[in-house]
Amino acid sequence: MQKIKKIYNSNFFFYFISIIILILISIIQIFPDNYFFASGDASQIVSFKTWFFNNNSAWSDSSIEAGGLGIHNTYLFEVPYYFLINSFSELLKLNIGHQSALHHFFFYFFSYLSITYYLRSSFNFLNLFEQHVIAFSYVINIVVYYVYFYTWG
Residue 67 CA: distances (Å) to CA of 18, 32, 47, 120: 44, 35, 24, 45
Mean pLDDT, residues 61-75: 50
Q: Please report the pLDDT score of residue 67 as a whole number.
A: 47
pTM of the entire predicted model: 0.68
Q: Please report the pLDDT score of residue 77 as a whole number.
A: 63
Helix (H, G, I), strand (E, B) or coil at 33: coil
Q: To the nearest whole percent, how much of the chain has pLDDT over 90? A: 4
Q: Please report the pLDDT score of residue 13 as a whole number.
A: 82
